[in-house]
Structure 1
Amino acid sequence: MGACGCGTNGQAFSWQQQIASGVYTAAASQSIFDSSGSSWCGSGCGKCFQLTSTGKAPCSTCGAGGAAGQSIIVMVTNLCPNNGNAQWCPTVGGKNQYGFSAHFDIMSNGNFLWDNAVVNYTQVSCPSVAGSDFRQCQCA
């Protein structure tokens, strides 16, 4: 299961899948997942964010980015910890290897339009299908 208690064994959805058209699950860096670190089930669990591609990748050898202005919605269902992932996932108050203070590790079934896109993000209301599925997870 993901760190938010979503996953296998009859749960509503796998933490590694697309929920609906244009809505994905994601592992978020610690500052988004839970800034206090007081629970395995972070306060960011179940929150949704709209990610909009800037059209760039963080470096010349780590992806092609994505079409500028293209947006998707992600629901946080897992943690992308700094330990073992420092290249991508920063510590709270820190930055990753590329100078970013946040990271979303988007889960897809391999049919995804972006390749390590740098994004702008904002918290949004979750689409109803995502919210109803998340109510069946342990952190709901």
Structure 2
Amino acid sequence: MKTATLFTFLAVAVSPIVALSGQATTTRYYDGQEGACGCGTSSGAFSWQLGISSGVYTAAASQAIFSSTGATWCGTGCGTCYQLTSTGSSPCSTCGTGGVAGQSIIVMITNLCPNNGNAQWCPAVGGTNEYGYSYHFDIMAESEVFGDNVVVDFESVDCPSAAVADYDECVCA
């Protein structure tokens, strides 16, 4: 009986909390406000949130990446980094132009893109958005990063040390 309990515990303990890789849709936003990971202030974003100091962009992630527990503040995905590589295509002919295939950026999750009010792009956990994708990254940037609503291949990566140091300023760090 103890062995079965131990195996159950280990299976739960090593289960991935967030998606490690896959394909996702992307959009871009720029509100300059404090995100769901407590980065920035109510009066504006820290300069690092725009990739200025570390070269790492910040992003709001769909719920399946932000938190598997349904948290809307300090989700388990806060402070995690992903490499996004453009496929060169957009999820539909009327929602963007895509971008140059093969271009990559690194993003750090600092905010949530909730399904409620954003169902077109941000799927509920276990579901898909209107374009059939289970994951979404809303990149914080004033202008297009590597395409207009481009579909990306994504994978979890270690955050660069400068981004980790910047993230230490966040409430959820």
What TM-score does the superposition give when structure 2 sets the normalisation length?
A: 0.74
1:65 shift after superposition: 0.9
Contact 1:3 1:40 (8 Å CA) reproduced: yes
What residue ranges of structure 2 are gaps of 5+ in the alignment?
A: 1-33
Partner of 1:130: 163
Aligned length: 140
Contact 2:47 2:53 (8 Å CA) reproduced: no
Contact 1:11 1:137 (8 Å CA) reproduced: no
What amino acid maps onto 2:66 in structure 1?
F
> For 1:25, what is the secondary structure of its paired residue?
strand
The structure 2 residue matched to 1:67, chosen from 86, 91, 100, is 100
1:23 lines up with 2:56 in the alignment:
yes
What TM-score does the superposition give when structure 1 sets the normalisation length?
A: 0.91
> What is the root-mean-square deviation of aligned Cα atoms in Å?
2.1
What residue ranges of structure 1 are gaps of 5+ in the alignment?
A: none
1:43 lines up with 2:76 in the alignment:
yes
CA separation of 1:78/1:63 partners in 2, compared to 1, >3 Å: closer, same or farther? Answer: same
Q: Which has the larger Rg?
A: 2
Cα distance between partner residues in 2 of 1:64 and 1:11:
30
Q: Which whole-Å deviations, capped at 9, do the CAs of 1:98-125 have from their partners, x for residues lacking one?
A: 0000000001122523110000100000
1:2 lines up with 2:11 in the alignment:
no
Cα distance between partner residues in 2 of 1:82 and 1:14:
27
What amino acid maps onto 2:41 in structure 1?
T
1:10 shift after superposition: 9.1
Partner of 1:97: 130
1:23 shift after superposition: 1.9
Does 58-67 or 8-17 show the bigger shift? 8-17
